[in-house]
Amino acid sequence: MNFPIDEIRKDFPILSRPVNGRPLVYFDNGATAQTPRQVVEAMDRVYYEYNSNIHRGIHTLSNLSTEAFEAAREKVRDFINAAESRQIIFTRGTTEAINLVAHSFGAAFMQPGDALVVSEMEHHSNIVPWQLLAERMQLELKVLPVLDNGELDLAALPALLDERTRLLAITHISNVLGTINPVKDIVELAHSKGVKVLIDGAQAIHHTRVDVAALDCDFYVFSGHKMYGPTGTGVLYGKAELLEAMPPWQGGGEMIQQVRFSGSTYNELPYKFEAGTPDYVGVVGLGAAVDYLQQLGMVAIGAYEKELFAYAVERLEGLGDLIFYGTAAQRGSLLSFLPEGIHPFDAGTLLDKMGIAVRTGHHCAQPLMDRFGIPGTVRASFGLYNTKSEVDALAEGLLKVRQLFA
Instruction: Give 139's pLDDT tier (boundaries 50, 70, 90).
Output: very high
Instruction: Please check whether residues 222 and 351 belong to one and the same domain.
Output: no
140 vs 276, residue with greater confidence:
140
Q: Quote the pLDDT of residue 245.
A: 97
Q: Is 35 part of a structural domain of the chain?
A: no
Q: What is the 3-state secondary structure (H, E, C) of the chain?
A: CCCCHHHHHHCCHHHHCEECCEECEECECCCCCCCCHHHHHHHHHHHHHHCCCCCCCCCHHHHHHHHHHHHHHHHHHHHHCCCCHHHEEEECCHHHHHHHHHHHHHHHHCCCCCEEEEECCCCHHHCHHHHHHHHHHCCEEEEECECCCCCECHHHHHHHCCCCEEEEEEECECCCCCEECCHHHHHHHHHHCCCEEEEECCCCCCCCCCCHHHHCCCEEEEECHHHCCCCCCEEEEECHHHHHHCCCCCCCCCCEEEEECCEEEECCCCHHHCCCCCCHHHHHHHHHHHHHHHHHCHHHHHHHHHHHHHHHHHHHHCCCCEEEECCCCCECCEEEEEECCCCHHHHHHHHHHCCEECEEECCCCHHHHHHHCCCCEEEEECCCCCCHHHHHHHHHHHHHHHHHHC
Q: What is the CATH number of the domain that holds 216?
A: 3.40.640.10
Q: Number of folded domains in the chain?
A: 2
Mean pLDDT of the chain: 96
pLDDT digits (tens, 9 = 90+) for 145-195: 999 999 999 999 999 999 999 999 999 999 999 999 999 999 999 999 999
CB neighbours of 364 closer than 8 A, spacing ≥ 6? 123, 124, 125, 175
Stretch 299-303: mean pLDDT: 97
pLDDT digits (tens, 9 = 90+) for 308-340: 999 999 999 999 999 999 999 999 899 999 999
Cα dihedral 254/132/30/191 (nearest 10):
-80
CB-based burial label for 10 (10 Å; 0-12, 13-18, 19+): middle
Instruction: Give 1's pLDDT tier (boundaries 50, 70, 90).
Output: low
Q: Quote the pLDDT of residue 314.
A: 97
Q: Quote the pLDDT of residue 406.
A: 75
Instruction: Please check whether residues 13 and 158 belong to one and the same domain.
Output: no
Separation between Cα atoms, residue 190 and residue 117, nearest integer Å: 10
260 vs 300, residue with greater confidence:
300
Q: Quote the pLDDT of residue 2.
A: 85
Instruction: Please check whether residues 141 and 67 belong to one and the same domain.
Output: yes
pLDDT digits (tens, 9 = 90+) for 280-295: 999 999 999 999 999 9
Instruction: Please check whether residues 290 and 301 belong to one and the same domain.
Output: no
Q: Is 339 part of a structural domain of the chain?
A: yes
Instruction: Please check whether residues 158 and 191 belong to one and the same domain.
Output: yes
Instruction: Give 265's pLDDT tier (boundaries 50, 70, 90).
Output: confident
What's the domain range around 126?
40-294
pLDDT digits (tens, 9 = 90+) for 346-395: 999 999 999 999 999 999 999 999 999 999 999 999 999 999 999 999 99
pLDDT digits (tens, 9 = 90+) for 19-73: 999 999 999 999 999 999 999 999 999 999 999 999 977 899 999 999 999 999 9
Stretch 212-220: mean pLDDT: 98
Q: What is the CATH number of the domain that holds 11?
A: 3.90.1150.10
pLDDT digits (tens, 9 = 90+) for 349-362: 999 999 999 999 99
Domain boundary among 294, 323, 351: 294
Q: Quote the pLDDT of residue 328.
A: 95
Q: Is 79 part of a structural domain of the chain?
A: yes
Instruction: Please check whether residues 58 and 128 belong to one and the same domain.
Output: yes
Instruction: Please check whether residues 241 and 346 belong to one and the same domain.
Output: no
- For this structure, is 364 an active site residue? yes
pLDDT at 250 over 90: no
Separation between Cα atoms, residue 313 and residue 334, nearest integer Å: 9
Q: Quote the pLDDT of residue 256.
A: 77
Q: Which position among 154, 364, 374, 395 bears the catalytic label?
A: 364
Instruction: Please check whether residues 128 and 198 belong to one and the same domain.
Output: yes
Longest dimension (CA), the chain: 74
As a whole-number percent, the residues of the chain with pLDDT over 90 amount to 93
Domain boundary among 263, 294, 325: 294
Instruction: Please check whether residues 212 and 327 belong to one and the same domain.
Output: no
Domain boundary among 294, 318, 347: 294
